[in-house]
């Protein structure tokens, strides 16, 4: 068996597909492609697919990936050719290659956050406050966690999970580039960062867009 990593975009309406539905969609696409893939054993066998890091709902991505296992002799080129026309709308196939990094190596996610305001002054005020809170490491978000067998909301200090923060304003639009902790043990989505800033701001954006550019390893190298 060979392991291959399928890279694809998740854009447009597809950003609202849950991780469970994404797994189902990918499984159906693989089945339609007719690829010879490895199936799990047991009462209910299914194609082996695994996502190194699930994407939060409502976030677009330029570099999502899923790992599959194929039978010997099946090449990356064949997988790309067969899968290209089977991908659902909004899940655009980019490439297929052998995995270079292990999922355990993921440490950060690189994001672009676009915030629209009613006017430039509001955008400047939010940018200034954001930079101040990040510099002071004075941000806390609420994140779902577990306490025993119960799901609870936990407060997570964000200061140690924000890197390479940069905020730029053009007209009434604020664009934030930022790297956030990802993978185990802490995974911080960009909407949690913006939500924490909004709690301390009198000015709120009228539109928000979150895009993941890539995943990063310990030394901020690109996860491949």
111-140 pLDDT, tens per residue?
Answer: 999 999 999 999 999 999 999 999 999 899
Average pLDDT, the chain: 93
Listed by start position, the domains of the chain span: 2-99, 105-216
Pick the CATH number of 2-99 from 1.10.10.10, 3.30.70.580, 3.40.50.720, 3.40.980.10: 3.30.70.580
Placement of tokens 């950060």 in the chain: 108
Give the whole-angstrom CA distance, residue 72 versus residue 79. Answer: 12
Under the banding of pLDDT at 50, 70 and 90, the label for residue 97 is very high
Residue 98 contacts residue 5 (beta carbons within 8 Å): yes
The answer to whether domain 2-99 and domain 105-216 are alike in fold is yes
Q: Which fold has domain 105-216?
A: Alpha-Beta Plaits (3.30.70)
Would you give the DSSP letter of residue 21?
Answer: H
Q: What is the pLDDT of residues 164-197, one digit of tens each?
A: 999 999 999 999 999 999 998 899 999 999 999 9
Q: How far apart are CA 93 and CA 87, in angstroms?
A: 7
| pLDDT on residue 218 | 95
Average pLDDT over residues 54-82: 94
Write down the pLDDT at residue 138: 87
């Amino acid at each position: 068996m060979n392991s291959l990593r399928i890279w694809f975009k998740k854009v447009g309406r597809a950003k609202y597909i849950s991780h469970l539905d994404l797994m189902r969609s990918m499984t159906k696409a693989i089945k339609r492609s007719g690829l010879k893939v490895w199936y799990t054993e047991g009462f209910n066998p299914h194609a082996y697919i695994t996502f190194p890091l699930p994407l939060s709902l409502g976030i677009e991505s330029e570099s999502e990936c899923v790992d599959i296992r194929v039978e010997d002799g099946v090449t990356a080129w064949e997988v790309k050719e067969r899968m290209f026309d089977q991908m659902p709308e909004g899940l655009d196939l980019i490439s297929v290659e052998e995995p270079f990094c292990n999922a355990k190596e993921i440490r950060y996610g690189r994001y672009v956050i676009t915030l629209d305001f009613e006017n430039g002054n509001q955008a400047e005020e939010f940018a200034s406050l954001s930079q101040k809170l990040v510099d002071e490491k004075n941000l806390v978000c609420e994140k779902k966690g577990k306490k025993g067998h119960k799901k609870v909301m936990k407060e997570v200090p964000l200061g140690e999970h924000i890197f390479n923060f940069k905020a730029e304003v053009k007209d009434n639009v604020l664009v934030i580039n930022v790297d956030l902790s990802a993978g185990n043990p802490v995974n911080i989505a960009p909407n949690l960062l913006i939500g924490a800033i909004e709690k301390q701001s009198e000015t709120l954006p009228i539109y928000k867009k979150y895009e993941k550019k890539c995943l990063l390893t310990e030394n901020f190298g690109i996860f491949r």
